[in-house]
Structure 1
Amino acid sequence: MSAAQHSRALSLPGDPAQWPQVAGVREGDGQFALELQVPESLCWFAGHFPGTPVLPGVVQVFWAECFARQLFGRFPDEYLLRNLKFNQMVLPGAALTLTLAEDVQKGRLEFRYTQADDAVSSGAFTESGA
C-alpha cells in the first residue's frame, strides 16, 4: 500500500479535534513512519496547562496505540507499557514523526516520536504474557 493509500485508510475514531493531522505515512522494514501535524486547536490542550498548552504524554501513548492497531492490523488486548520516556514537550503546531516498529518474535511494538530529529518520547508495548 502506498503512503497516500495509508493516509486515506486511517480511520480515527471519535472527535477529529483529538487527532493530529496525518501528512504522510511511509512503510518499510517492518515499520511505519507517520508525519504528524499537531493542530493548535487540539482538544487535549484545553486546561493542560492554561496559558502554556502542552500535549499530555498519555495522549502520545494513546495515538501510538491507535495508529499501531490500524497499521499493523493486530495489537494485544492486554499489554504492558515499557521503557516509557518523555524527552521534551509537544507544543501546539508541532510537526512530529511517529515511528512504529514491530518485533513479532519478542511480542513487542516500539514507538518513537521525534521533532526535527530530536527525541520527543518513546516506549514499547509488549504482550502482557511476554
Structure 2
Amino acid sequence: MKPLRNEILACAEGPVLGREDDREFELTYHFGKDFTAFAGHFPGRPILPAFVQLLAGECAMQTRARREVVLQRVKRAKFLKPIQPDQKITVRWREQPADDGVRGSFTLLADGEKAATFTLEMTATGQADV
C-alpha cells in the first residue's frame, strides 16, 4: 500500500494550512483522471474509492506531522457524495490526543461541497521520512 500512499502524497497541492493553537488544518489534493485508484472504479464513471478518501486523511496528517503515521482504526465514516477525477479536494481536520496516539476528525470537500466525514485514530512512528 506504500506506493498508493506515495501517489496520494504526490497529488497534494501546496502546504498544509492551519493553526497549531486550535489544532485545525487543511490540505488540498488534485486527483487527475490518470490517478491509479480510478482505474476500474467504475468504468465510464470513475469515483474515488472510500478507502482512498481515508488514506488521503491519513496522508494529510502525515504531511503535517512530517513523520509517518499509521492508521489504527476508523471510528466512524460517512461518504456523502461521489468524488470524481479533477475535482478540487480539500481535506480539513482537527487533531485531538487519543489513548495511544492522535485522533483526527476529518471533512472532505469536493469542489467546496461536503463529500465525506470520518474520524481516524493513528499512531506516529519515530521515523521522520516524509
Structure 1 residue 78: Cα displacement = 6.1
Work out whether residues 57 and 106 of structure 2, in 8 Å CA contact, stay in contact via their aligned partners in 1.
Answer: yes
TM-score (norm 2): 0.73
Q: 2:17 aligns with which of 26, 34, 37?
A: 26
Matched residues, number: 116
Query: Partner residue of 2:120?
Result: 125
Secondary structure of the 2:105 match is strand
Structure 1 residue 45: Cα displacement = 0.7
Higher relative contact order (CA 8 A, sep 6+): 2
CA-based RMSD: 2.8
- Residue 108 (structure 2) pairs with residue 113 (structure 1): yes
Query: Partner residue of 2:45?
Result: 52
Structure 1 residue 21: Cα displacement = 2.5
TM-score (norm 1): 0.73
Identical columns (%): 23
Unaligned runs of 5+ in 1: 1-12
CA distance in 2, matches of 1:37, 1:117: 13
Runs of 4+ displaced beyond 4 Å: 73-78
Query: Partner residue of 2:56?
Result: 63
Q: CA-to-partner distance for each residue in 1:71-100, whole Å, 9 max, x for gaps?
A: 135777562212200000010111011012
